[in-house]
Structures are given as structure tokens and as C-alpha cells.
């Protein structure tokens, strides 16, 4: 932490410094405020556009407030907008995303916890190599696995299914969930495990009664990370789904880029907000953990 106003002793020329400091603080807040506007502007435009009628959008200005608030676009986006030939709105796809995300998050978090527990506390020959291999897997561009995965899903009878997408998200989420739990469990002293072993507790018991109760913060971080990843995923969704099983991001893209009929910008914006709401909500409610996951996911090791 460094404070600009502290940089020179204030006693030397009191009046000049006081004014200079005020001006400096003012421009500081001005700068920060302008950037806050820059980040908020798209959200503001999305919300106001979604509440306008098409007529008003055509005649009004991008950033003007709606003269007459209407929720018609929201209703259409939720249950009437066309994604290709079907016109059921985002609703069914929103449910698809939930059906994919909930088991996907649960399974990959559970497996990550067990893997992290083994790698951090039950080392055996080669366990570090396994960890490095899993870590490395986090970095691959998924394009390199798309083609074989499409074939394997087909052979497993999971092509275009919700289960197939859950499977894909679990597999390619494992590296990160394992990393999160490993880095958390590695800070717990190994003496704890040794003492528990002396007392006759085994692998499962130690995990269940010692590690799991300590894990709440890292479980929250991992769940938020995985939920955001899976909910916001587009590449796997568009590659491995078919009509009817698409996640909400794919449906949103189809609504926005469908070429039939009149372009309904208000419906596009309402649909975009609906698709963004769950992760935005998570961010607002648990922002601290969200940021921790982001930084843990980027500053590895």
C-alpha cells in the first residue's frame, strides 16, 4: 500500500500541498469513476434496451432510459424467442444448463477433493508425476480433444446427450478441482494424518472426519469456479449437443444470430441477461470466493 499524499512531508509548504492534494484526490476519483462507468455501460445498455419496445429502440438513443417500461421482451426471451426452428425461448435451455451444471459441479468437486487428498497427504511413488500430468492438462486448448471426444461420445452412446456434456465437463474440470484441493490440503500438517493413523483411523475415516470438516472454504471456491466454467461454456456445448440438449449459451447465440424475421434487439438483450444471471448472482453473493478461485486458477502451484 502506498499513499500518494504521504510522498512528501506536509510541513514544508502547507497551503500549496493541501490544494495539490485535493486536486490529486479529485482527479483520482474522477478517473476511477469514469472507468466504473466504462465497465457498467454495457450492463446498463443491456438492461435499458431489454425494457424498451422495438419502436423506441429504432427512434431513441442507445443510452436513453426507456420512456415506457415493458417486460414484453423478457417474456419473449424466456418462453417465445426462436432458436432456429423451435420457438420456445430460453426456458428449456436454461434447464439444460442446470441439468448439466449441477451434476458436473458435484462430481468434479468430489473427485477433486479425493484426488487432492491423496496427492497432498498420501504420497506414493509417482503421485507427483500424476499431479504434474493433471496440471498440464488444464492448459491444453480444448480444440485438440474435440474430434476424438465427438467420436468417443458417439461410441459410448452419449452423443448429443446431457449425460455426455456432464461427462466432458467432469473430465476437463478434474485438473483444476484437483489443483484447488491439493493446494489447500498441502497446508495441513502431515502429523495430523500420522497421529490419526496411530489412533487406528484409516484413509476414509481421516478424510471424512478430519479433512472434509476443514474443507468448507475450498469447497466453496471450487464449486463457484466449476459452476462458472460449466455455465459459461460454449465450445463443448456447441460441439457435443443437438437440438433439445443445448445449454443456455448456445441457445442465446442461436437467438441472437438467427437470421429469420425481424431483429428484436430488446429480446436479444433480455435473453443475454437471463443467460448471465446465475453467474452474476454467484459473483454478487460470493465475490470473495470467486476472486480467490480466479487467482488460484491463474497463479498455479
Partner 1 sequence: MSDWLETHLPKAVLAPSFIAIMLFVYGFIGWTAWVSFTRSKLLPRYELKGTVQYEKLFASPRWDTAMDNLFVFGTLFIVIAMLLGLLLAIFLDQKVRSEGVIRTIYLYPMALSMIVTGTAWKWILNPGLGLENMVRGWGFETFTFDWLVNPDFAIYTVVLAGVWQSSGFVMALFLAGLRSVDEEIIKAAQVDGIPTWRIYSAIIIPSMAPIFLSAFIVLAHLAIKSFDLVIALTGGGPGYSTDLPATYMYAMAFSRGDIGQAASSAMIMMMVVFAIVVPYLYSELRAKHD
The footprint of partner 1 on residues 149-178 (CB under 8 A) is 149-152, 171-172, 174-175, 178
Rule CB under 8 A: choose which of 28, 65, 195, 212 binds partner 1.
28
Rule CB under 8 A: choose which of 20, 217, 244, 287 binds partner 1.
287
Least Cα distance to 96 among 267, 244, 278, 254 occurs for 244
Q: State yes or no: residue 205 binds partner 1 (CB under 8 A).
A: no
How many residues touch partner 1 under the rule CB under 8 A: the total is: 100
Rule CB under 8 A: choose which of 63, 65, 69, 212 binds partner 1.
63
What is the nearest approach in angstroms of partner 1 to the Cβ of residue 45? 6
Looking at 122-211, list the stretches that DSSP marks H as alpha helix, in order from N- to C-terminal side. 127-137, 143-155, 162-185, 190-198, 203-206
Residues of span 64-103 touching partner 1 by CB under 8 A: none
Q: State yes or no: residue 210 binds partner 1 (CB under 8 A).
A: no
Q: Based on C-alpha coordinates, what's the Rg of the chain?
A: 25
DSSP, collapsed to helix, strand or coil, labels residue 6 as helix
Residues of span 213-242 touching partner 1 by CB under 8 A: 228, 231-232, 234-235, 238-239
Residues of span 101-120 touching partner 1 by CB under 8 A: 111, 114-115, 117-119
Exposure class string for 185-215: b at 16+ Cβ within 10 A, else e: beebeeeebeebeeeebeeeebbeebbeeeb
Inter-helix orientation angle 127-137/91-121, to 10°: 150
Q: State yes or no: residue 282 binds partner 1 (CB under 8 A).
A: yes
Q: Kindly report the backbone phi and psi dihedral angles of residue 234, in degrees, each rounded to the nearest multiple of 5, phi listed first.
A: -125, -40
Least Cα distance to 26 among 41, 5, 1 occurs for 5
What is the nearest approach in angstroms of partner 1 to the Cβ of residue 194? 14
What distance separates the 2 farthest-apart alpha carbons in the chain?
A: 80
Q: State yes or no: residue 35 binds partner 1 (CB under 8 A).
A: yes
Q: State yes or no: residue 124 binds partner 1 (CB under 8 A).
A: yes
Site stretch for partner 1 (CB under 8 A), options 71-79, 80-88, 148-156, 212-220: 148-156
The three state secondary structure string of 24-92 is: HHHHHHHHHHHHHHHHHHHHHHHHHHHCCCHHHHHHCCCCCCCCCCCCHHHHHHHHCCCECCECCCCHH
Question: CA 12, 16, 17 angle in degrees (round to 5)?
Answer: 65
Q: State yes or no: residue 54 binds partner 1 (CB under 8 A).
A: no
What is the nearest approach in angstroms of partner 1 to the Cβ of residue 83? 13
Residues of span 239-278 touching partner 1 by CB under 8 A: 239, 249, 252-253, 256-257, 265, 268-269, 271-273, 275-276
Closer to partner 1 by Cβ: residue 219 or 249: 249
Q: State yes or no: residue 26 binds partner 1 (CB under 8 A).
A: no
Site stretch for partner 1 (CB under 8 A), options 33-41, 73-81, 86-94, 208-216: 33-41
Q: Is the Cα dihedral 130, 132, 133, 135 positive or negative?
A: positive
What is the nearest approach in angstroms of partner 1 to the Cβ of residue 27? 10
Q: How far apart are the first and last CA of the chain?
A: 25
What is the nearest approach in angstroms of partner 1 to the Cβ of residue 104? 14
Amino acid at each position: 500500500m502506498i499513499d500518494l499524499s504521504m510522498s512528501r512531508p506536509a510541513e514544508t509548504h502547507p497551503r500549496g500541498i493541501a490544494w495539490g492534494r485535493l486536486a490529486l484526490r479529485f482527479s483520482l476519483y474522477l478517473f476511477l469513476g469514469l472507468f466504473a462507468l466504462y465497465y457498467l455501460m454495457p450492463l446498463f445498455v443491456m438492461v435499458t434496451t431489454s425494457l424498451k419496445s422495438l419502436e423506441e429502440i429504432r427512434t431513441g438513443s442507445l443510452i436513453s432510459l426507456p420512456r415506457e417500461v415493458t417486460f414484453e421482451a423478457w417474456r419473449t426471451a424466456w418462453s417465445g424467442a426462436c432458436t432456429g426452428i423451435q420457438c420456445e425461448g430460453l426456458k428449456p435451455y436454461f434447464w439444460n444448463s442446470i441439468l448439466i451444471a449441477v451434476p458436473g459441479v458435484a462430481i468434479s468437486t468430489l473427485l477433486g477433493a479425493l484426488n487432492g487428498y491423496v496427492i497432498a497427504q498420501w504420497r506414493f511413488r509417482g503421485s507427483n508425476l500424476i499431479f504434474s500430468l493433471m496440471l498440464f492438462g488444464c492448459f491444453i486448448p480444448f480444440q485438440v480433444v474435440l474430434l476424438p471426444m465427438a467420436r468417443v461420445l458417439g461410441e459410448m452412446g452419449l452423443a448429443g446427450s446431457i449425460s455426455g456434456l456432464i461427462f466432458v465437463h467432469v473430465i476437463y474440470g478434474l485438473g483444476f478441482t484437483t489443483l484447488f484441493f491439493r493446494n489447500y490440503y498441502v497446508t495441513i500438517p502431515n502429523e495430523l494424518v500420522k497421529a490419526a493413523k496411530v489412533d487406528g483411523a484409516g484413509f476414509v475415516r481421516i478424510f471424512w472426519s478430519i479433512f472434509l470438516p476443514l474443507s468448507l472454504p475450498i469447497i466453496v471456491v471450487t464449486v463457484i469456479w466449476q459452476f462458472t466454467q460449466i455455465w459459461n461454456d460454449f465450445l463443448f456445448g456447441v460441439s457435443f449437443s443437438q437440438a433439445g440438449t443445448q445449454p443456455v449459451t448456445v441457445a442465446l447465440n442461436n437467438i441472437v444470430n438467427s437470421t429469420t424475421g425481424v431483429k428484436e434487439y430488446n429480446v436479444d438483450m433480455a435473453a443475454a441477461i437471463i443467460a448471465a444471471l446465475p453467474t452474476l448472482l454467484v459473483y454478487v453473493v460470493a465475490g470473495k470466493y470467486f476472486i480467490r478461485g480466479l487467482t488460484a486458477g491463474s497463479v498455479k502451484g
